[in-house]
């Protein structure tokens, strides 16, 4: 099995090379998949092959002499596990060195990699948070961290340590765990969604500390429901990673773009080999100076997918680098994906789900329940568009981040993705019956129903309330969020137009 060189180098634990009284040691971590090492072919440092009989491999409680490793005496090397390599009798000078390792394995066959690593003059001495390599989520280590925080910060903790679930369930979601942040959750709805994936009425969990937020969304939901509900459509679905390749000239960068176009099939194969879910949709390419910026666009299923596409893009680029000899530098992310950043490219090209919520709000419903006429709300909308234009904003939504953030926290989404997901393009028009058509386009809604924080107990319950747990439900969740966001736009717009905005906050939102 051919593994690109950049991927293979990830087996080496950077920062692990050091001199010890027994010799030089360095660490390995399996970042590929479960494997069995059946022969050590070579260990060398700075081009000098080391005697196999002087090299030891240690995993957990077991130590293997390199010379004894064979198909009959293999080293099991599961995914995610670490291994220490000791070269006895060797001492290295302070500074950079080249380390090479070759071995035979199942199922990968013969593999070899070379990395550059440095030995530091002395290890850093600094105050660190207590950590347990074997079990960092046990009650004992959590207690030590709490005591460390008490002594260091001078604060006694009463509420932070209170947790209704096993801390071990947070593994993969947080490090140095000490407790939980308890954020109030309120219910809005039910909201009637006429979607392709979400059909029916859904209770909506909103986690927030902002007074009037739940009440405001409930107002908007009532208006939508009385008008027949909200129609939601997911029109695009893609997640990006954007590497950059550096060449000696603009001409070489241009030729590289053409080379990529000719090898899209092989690039996709290398990328998709890292995941059973990720599918490469296409690659956008942008040239500037002698730089070639590539924006890989992937389908990621029910996961938000940033880590998935990072791994897939890294594998694809590693394959590309193995085929080329004129790339002067390469970086996996060039900032063109604008991860965790608001950007015009994501409004135009989509990042996550592009979802549109539409409703025809009845005239009598607006007048009776919001004390505002459709003509007034439409006129106010036009004035607000001018204000958005003057401010330099690239979207004209009123406050979609409010509902989106509250739903993100409740359902275990990566809250920092609100930076991209917050953009809302609001449009309205009066129809021939005097009712108000409204739509909200969210061009970069990054959500998941599988992976990340969605499996945590509280968040899973909130997803379950909407029938959005697990695989096959992410577009359903996207439609519900878009419908709720439109409800918020109607509610806030009406409150401002009818001059109820400040009085409502004074009545319901004061906690001082």
Q: Is 210 a catalytic residue?
A: yes
Range 358-372 burial, b when 16+ CB lie within 10 A, else e: bbebbbebbeeebeb
Please count the residues of the chain. 512
How many helices and strands, by DSSP H and E, does the chain display? 14, 20
At 341 the three-state DSSP class reads coil
Contacts 24+ apart (CB under 8 A), 317-321: 317/6, 317/243, 318/4, 318/5, 318/6, 318/7, 318/270, 319/4, 319/266, 319/267, 319/270, 320/245, 320/260, 320/263, 320/267, 320/270, 321/4, 321/5, 321/6
Q: Determine the Cα–Cα distance for residues 278 and 447; give it in Å rounded to an integer.
A: 16
Q: What gap in Å lies between CA 503 and CA 72, rounded to an integer?
A: 79
- Are 221 and 484 in contact, with CB atoms under 8 Å apart? yes
Which residue spans within 289-349 are E strands per DSSP? 291-299, 329-331
Q: Which of 358, 353, 345, 356 is nearest to 413 (CA)?
A: 353
Q: What is the DSSP string of 391-413?
A: HT-S---SSHHHHHHHHHHHHT-
CB-based burial label for 290 (10 Å; 0-12, 13-18, 19+): middle
| Cα(111)–Cα(422) distance, integer angstroms | 46
Q: How far is CA 351 from the centre of its chain?
A: 12
| Alpha helices (runs of H) in 155-236, residue ranges in sequence order | 213-226
Rounded-to-integer distance, Cα 20 and Cα 27, Å: 13
Residue 287, C-beta contacts closer than 8 angstroms, at least 6 positions apart:
250, 253, 254, 257, 293
Q: Are 506 and 499 in contact (CB under 8 A)?
A: no
List 210, 236, 272, 461, catalytic entry? 210
Catalytic residue among 39, 414, 461, 500: 414
Q: What is the DSSP letter of 499?
A: T
31, with CB counted inside 10 A (0-12, 13-18, 19+), is: middle
User: Which residues have a catalytic role annotated?
Assistant: 210, 414, 505
């Amino acid at each position: 099995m051919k593994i690109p060189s950049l991927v293979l180098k990830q087996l080496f634990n950077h920062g692990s090379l050091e001199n010890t009284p027994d010799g030089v040691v360095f660490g390995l971590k399996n970042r590929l998949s479960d494997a069995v090492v059946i022969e050590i072919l070579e260990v060398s440092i700075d081009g000098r092959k080391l005697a196999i009989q002087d090299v030891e491999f240690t995993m957990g409680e077991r130590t293997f002499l390199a010379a004894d490793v064979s198909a009959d005496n293999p080293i099991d090397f599961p995914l995610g596990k670490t291994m220490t390599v000791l070269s006895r009798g060797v001492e290295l000078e302070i500074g950079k060195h080249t380390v090479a390792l070759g071995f035979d394995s199942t199922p990968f066959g013969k593999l070899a990699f070379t990395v550059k690593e440095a030995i530091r003059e002395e290890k850093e001495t600094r105050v660190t948070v207590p950590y347990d390599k074997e079990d960092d989520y046990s009650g004992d280590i959590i207690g030590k961290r709490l005591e460390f925080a008490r002594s260091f910060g001078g604060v006694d903790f009463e509420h932070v340590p209170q947790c209704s679930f096993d801390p071990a369930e947070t593994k993969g979601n947080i490090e140095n765990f000490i407790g939980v942040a308890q954020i109030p959750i309120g219910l809005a709805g039910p909201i009637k969604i006429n979607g392709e994936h979400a059909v029916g009425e859904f209770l909506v969990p909103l986690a927030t500390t902002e007074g009037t937020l739940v009440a405001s969304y409930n107002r908007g939901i009532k208006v939508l429901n009385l008008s027949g509900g909200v129609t939601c459509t997911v029109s695009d679905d893609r997640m990006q990673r954007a590497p950059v390749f550096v060449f000696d000239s603009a001409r070489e960068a241009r030729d590289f773009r053409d080379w990529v176009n000719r090898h899209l099939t092989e690039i996709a194969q290398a990328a998709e080999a890292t995941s059973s879910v990720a599918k490469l949709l296409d690659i956008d390419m942008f040239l500037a100076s002698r730089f070639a910026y590539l924006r890989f666009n992937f389908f990621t299923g029910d996961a938000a997918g940033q880590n998935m596409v990072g791994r897939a893009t890294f594998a694809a680029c590693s394959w590309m680098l193995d085929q080329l000899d004129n790339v002067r530098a390469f970086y996996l992310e060039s900032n063109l994906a604008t991860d965790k950043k608001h950007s015009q490219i994501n409004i135009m090209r989509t990042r996550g789900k592009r979802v549109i919520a539409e409703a025809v709000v009845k005239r009598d419903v607006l007048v009776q329940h919001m004390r505002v006429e459709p003509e007034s709300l439409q006129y106010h909308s036009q004035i607000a568009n001018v204000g958005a234009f003057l401010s330099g904003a690239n979207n004209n939504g009123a406050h979609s981040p409010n509902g989106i953030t509250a739903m993100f926290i409740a359902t275990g989404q990566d809250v920092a993705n609100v930076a991209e997901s917050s953009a809302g393009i609001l449009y309205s028009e009066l129809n021939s019956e005097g009712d108000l058509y409204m739509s909200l386009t969210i061009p970069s809604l990054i959500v998941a129903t599988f992976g990340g924080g969605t499996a945590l107990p509280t968040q899973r319950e909130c997803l379950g309330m909407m029938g959005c747990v697990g695989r096959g439900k992410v577009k359903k969740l996207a439609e519900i969020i878009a419908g709720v966001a439109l409800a918020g736009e109607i509610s806030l717009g009406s409150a401002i137009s009818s001059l109820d905005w400040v009085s409502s906050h004074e009545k319901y939102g004061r906690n001082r």
